Chain A
Amino acid sequence: MEQTNFQLKKQDAQSNEWSARLHHATRATREDWMGRGISYLCIGVIILVVASMLWFITSKGLATFTQNHVNVWQFLTGTNWSPDTGHIGAAPMIVGSFAVTFAAAIVATPFAVGTAIFMTEISPNKGRKLLQPVIELLVGIPSVVYGFIGLAVVVPFMRHLVGGSGFGIISATFVLFVMVLPTITSMTVDSLRAVPRHYKEASLALGATRWQTVSRVILRSATPGILTAIIFGMARAFGEALAVQMVIGNAAVMPKNLISAASTLTSQLTSGIGDTIDGTLPNNALWSLALILLLMSLFFNALVRVIAKRGQLKHER
């Protein structure tokens, strides 16, 4: 009896120990928790940063309209920008920004797509060995260097070529073209490589030539990816400040042609922010320009998502 009692106790103790082991977290589990905790913390910090930036820019940017009682429509369509005297018409900068962005994208896209086709379809080997490093190098060059080259080379070149002072949308387009080219090219390469191999095989088996295959099958099925690439390039061009500021001339006037000095949202921001006082109209007006930039980048991102979604549906069919 005593013996069994003892045995029972022993069993009890053992089972207790087991249950303790089973019910408490092991080291691996704790590590798991910790890892999860760290990831959540990082995500939390990032969300907090993004949210507070959005809130900050929005509240500051809206102050022009709520505190200084500027009419939103006047702000967007007015053409007289002299904040010191109370005139804030942002249309010249908005037009300037869109002009350089679209011009750069239009010029860069054919070159980018051509390069990408060469790298993926025509000569993948040379593409990987020669062009890939070149494109990666172009991405890595700081924008101030692009701007400096623009100021020292492109501006005088444009002056000799088309006259005027050389500063203007055309010089900015040229500089931005080189800056967005690698972005568009490398993303186009990705989307061309993602085209299923059997599309190409089927096309060739049906007797299509290489050019027919590339132009009617590969490019067609990679279109959503290429559009995404172009939009990413445009987003970069739209947000570029320094290089553009150095070559566009920063005149807050409606651009009449491609060779007269103009300005963009970013160039006006960087050149004006140091000379304005917090809480005054000139400062608030600059925040409103920043708000436009923010909204535009949100718009570009949304556009990319829409295109990606449509592209997916197409592939499933």
Chain B
Amino acid sequence: MNKGSKLAMGIATISLLLVGCGKATSSTSSKSSSSSEALSGKVTAVGSTALQPLAAKAGANFQSKNSKVNLTVQGGGSGTGLSQVQAGAVSIGNSDIFAEEKDGIKADKLTDHKVAVVGMAPVVNKDTGVKNLKMAQLKQIFTGKITNWKEVGGKDQKIVIVNRAQGSGTRATFENAVLKGATAIKSQEQDSNGAVQKIVSSTPGAVSYLAFSYFTNKLQAVSIDNVTPTDNNVENNKWKIWSYEHMYTKGTPDKVTAAFLKYMDSKTVQDSLVKDMGYISIHDMKVTKDAKGTVTQS
């Protein structure tokens, strides 16, 4: 290695260290402006990227009301959220799936707080000419039995399946509702809603599934058995592919965490913020679903 690259490496190391220090100091320094509220402390919520935007926005609003609270929201995936909260490393673990559905998580040690509902629907590239599918057809597509769009009334075009990564909450929800135990054919996997959105809208013949909030006019959301993917259809369970967004805590949450969870369930968040950001309010649901997927009218 020559001198130049050694020097460059040295500089890179130093700047990394500096960046590290900068981050550390900025995250430990809590807001110092005093307020009459007694509520103060630190809340860390980590996990699901599907819940992250809502949690971050609600967290910011909560912080502006309680200036002594230091609230951090991070992504990392549902698995990370669940394992971190189980380990006691964070106050809240965000997850798209029930803790019971994940191996290695002791669900009885965790308390579930459902904060929103997310509907998901199959999406296809606009070229395919498909707008409605039967549930059985959808299953056949994702298990590799149907490989051309003309078999389901579309164009003569090869089907390109885009899956989410194994273990993803969205994928688990979709497979529970559509495949019902069958194994999906091995195919492309993407690790975020954003990537799926981009790829399906630009790849001819592509099919995948997305949360409602990621629909754009560049791709086609598909109805199943002539039920359209809308919030109303999710609320009365006519549309089957939906899941709760969970915030898990371990044991009894501390005062600040409890206050934040209460805020998440309040009308201010549920009636405006949740809907504005494309989620479905937990208050509007006319059914409940348990960890085994059994739906009951409430």
Contacts and interface: CB of A to CB of B under 8 A. Distances in A.
B189 A251 contact: yes
Given A275-B165, A279-B104, A250 B188 contact: yes
A249 interface: yes
Interface stretch (A4-12, A28-36, A112-120, A159-167): A159-167
A155 B199 CA distance: 10
Contact of B167 (A253, A261, A275): A275
Contact of A275 (B78, B186, B187, B205): B78
Contacts of B77: 273-275
A281 B195 CA distance: 27
A263 B103 CA distance: 25
A127 B87 CA distance: 56
Interface residues on A, range: 35 or more
B203 A277 contact: no
Interface in B186-236: 186-191, 195, 198-199, 202-206
B82 interface: yes
A77 interface: no
Given A156-B202, A252-B189, A261-B188, A275 B166 contact: yes
Contacts of A271: 165, 189-191
Given A270-B191, A274-B77, A151 B198 contact: yes
A190 B190 CA distance: 40
A275 B198 contact: no
A202 B19 CA distance: 52
B163 to A, nearest CB: 8
B169 to A, nearest CB: 7
Q: Which of B102, B166, B183, B203 has most chain A Cβ within 10 Å?
A: B166
Interface string B1-30: 010000000000000000000000000000
A159 B125 CA distance: 15
B249 to A, nearest CB: 17
Contacts of A251: 186-189
B167 A84 contact: yes
B79 interface: yes
Contact of B187 (A261, A270, A277): A261
A85 B190 CA distance: 19
Contact of B188 (A159, A249, A276, A278): A249
A282 interface: yes
A71 interface: no
Contact of A277 (B102, B169, B195, B198): B102
B281 interface: no
26 contacts: A151-B199, A159-B203, A165-B206, A166-B203, A167-B188, A167-B199, A250-B165, A251-B189, A261-B188, A271-B189, A271-B191, A272-B166, A274-B49, A274-B75, A274-B80, A274-B191, A275-B77, A275-B80, A275-B166, A275-B168, A276-B79, A276-B167, A281-B103, A282-B103, A282-B166, A282-B167
A-B pairs, 8 with minimum CB distance: A274-B77, A275-B167, A280-B104, A271-B191, A277-B104, A275-B79, A249-B188, A250-B189
Interface of A: 82-85, 151, 155-156, 159, 165-167, 190, 245-246, 249-253, 261, 263, 270-283
